[in-house]
Chains A and B, each alone.
Chain A
């Protein structure tokens, strides 16, 4: 796509639900919805009224006085941005008087602005420059006198600079921070001539509360706030719309390029997931794509104690195929398998599972969703019939009560969190169920009505107690349940939850949630209007993860909070393509579209399509693969885009499993931790270098477009195809779109999806088929996918992970805004300046008991292992609970987590580990040994000079 700056209509669109208003602008008649501004109406007929403080992503402000117009029959010169259209209005946008007024206003702005346009970073991309031209400014009479010129730049932020000498105090940055991001980090400090933009309490940007979402930079009409990359490279000359590769929100961006070089990522206004907003990761943290540690050549080695040897693609692929065939010949067909990645595209995951099922001839394929949202798939399929969330993100703007369970959206899903916060500022009520006091509990203009700070591991008890209140107090939406759900199953469930042992008072002792607060939360959710539940890994990563998902579904059905806008059950997916990886048949027991491998009709359809017989037995899940490896019967694995050594629980067990295999193939951007145990390394491509699709948390399928050639030589799906061919299984795709065509042909919920349709519509949400050719924003509108909604009893079963004298504290893990998952990408960007290491959050009471001071090295020990990191003392966690992130391999938080898992899916119980914490002198012996192993494992043989 050629470079096109996005059109800015000046003010937001008015709701189209109201009546239309007819008016005349410069002699042209136009009809627009009531509430539209004169500025926007004019822009819609191609008349761009000069403006500076107005932009269509923000509420009209009316401060710059440049957009003045004349309205027949009215005195004065109203600002067109704050003047709504009225029936019969006659507007003139260009008169001699207006020209003179605008020139005068602009002259004043320019008199206090540096005239260094030719060397300015925004030269050619500056609204002030454009508007000076638009109003015909030719002379500035006010040369001498006080000015703001020469003020010092703030270059503290790693991604953008703030140059106050170029600021025109239009407040767009302040308003963007307030309205779009919702952080309220910026303000206009001082009055009159002394007015200036200030971050927090006049701090530098890096030290302030600014979260570097980039909204202020995007809103700035001058070069006051400008990306360092633009200053370094120059302005872009083309752009490509693509989809972010971080988190399940699925923001779409304009990748703005100069030649083959990426200049900046700017959130796309038309993107339906992000609506023009971004976070620090997607907006700025893409520098890993050309980081010096990226591996671009294939490498092999005979054993993991040897250095790597760079080889040609042909040698690497031939060697890999021969190793897999050798292993299968020696140990049997089911002795090998593979892992697809939620960071890769739908087409790539589909192809990996196809390679394993059709090429390896078994179903030993799994995906990283195993360790995050597999209970969502199980629970929602059981209750509603579809393994997916029910709403689109827009739905939150119609919610009256939002319940967040085990999720930290401001850190994990920041762009969705900004929209959620906007709705909360409009008056929606908030309930947070989380052991930690996450930022959303109390932030500017937001305070949760209830924060149920439960003891980790007691989700089911808390949610069943909420159900008890709803049933016992007669708050059930009986009409909904009778119409939409199985009534007899409901009656059985209602009788179960009504038992006094499930009352908040009875469960308080184990959950540590005060009964009165729990009752208040249940009443609010059931009676407060549209109730929407959003949840994350704090729900799923438990021994009863699937039961908790069922308990959430029960609550939503019992209160009628399903099947319309503003309600629903919404899993916030961790990685960018968790939903897609699951949809594509990455689980060992099911083919694409969640159809069990034992289903003869489905399997036979795939056999016909793929030309080979398929195994009708479920394969091994990731933890089962590792167990089988330790048992000596699973010997080879193909891992695309995952780092199981760092991300999966019980690191010692993972490393033992990997070490026991004879051929570990890692396809990735970097020599990740898993690659320490690999025999073949196949260099992968970044999201900037490939075509494909990602499916976000709202089932939205969006195009990933190649913006530059793959530095490693191949898109990831092409590498899988090479491997398949070398294994003797022919694949002949010329483009990723052909893989999607196959997915659509084989998967009923994707039947209407094609690259052409996605290109035309921007995105679609599955199901997308003959019944819903443009997709399905909200599911279960007239009834559930499975027919009647299914209520399931949810008895609380305490985790086997118990605290006691040896391990008296409970550890729970999570993530932080600036880092992503195992940090493979974000650690290789400037984001690490915000989070250089994992820290252990510990309550002041627990710290004092142990003589721990803030910043001390502490050892965290569980029955699985121990590691050391530094302490962060905070009452954000409750006494008895400690918390850490898992972004840094030097910490390896998963050395501590155990092999306990969800009963239905084997999703690990990351969120509950009994630990002891004590002071230490620094890294443990194991950490030092591991560091040495990593160093040795990353040696690459020098290539002899030719």
Chain B
């Protein structure tokens, strides 16, 4: 992910004392209430799982957790351990093992794309299609709907060969067709 200095551990699965360590992706979605995170992570800890990258937020008031964890527990064991979370029907839990993949490609140059304007269908798909067309990789994206205003902020890695000015113009043309504003800027990181 942009903004972190850690190398993604994809493809470098650790071995702990001859126990096969697996990586699982877990999602917990549904009605928000106090205690979901404490409950979920407590159950994962009880299974000996190590919480790695995660995103836990509210989307239009609904709780949305996506996380990746590492450990020796099987998918069945994790599913059984988290089952009580979904018992009252207000939360949906999914668990699946992630395949052992090759390491992610070298990160490119980081940019931030901001788009805002009147809400209408197709804003995200149209703008992200321009990024995909040049091989740009979106590493983080947030959308917010506030009344009539729709806002998209995306962080992207662009391969070194990409003509950024041309990409900015292409995004600008799409934005104009949609009647929204778009700004593409390099990420400014201050090394301390």
A-B interaction: no
A-side interface residues toward B, CB under 8 Å?
A: none
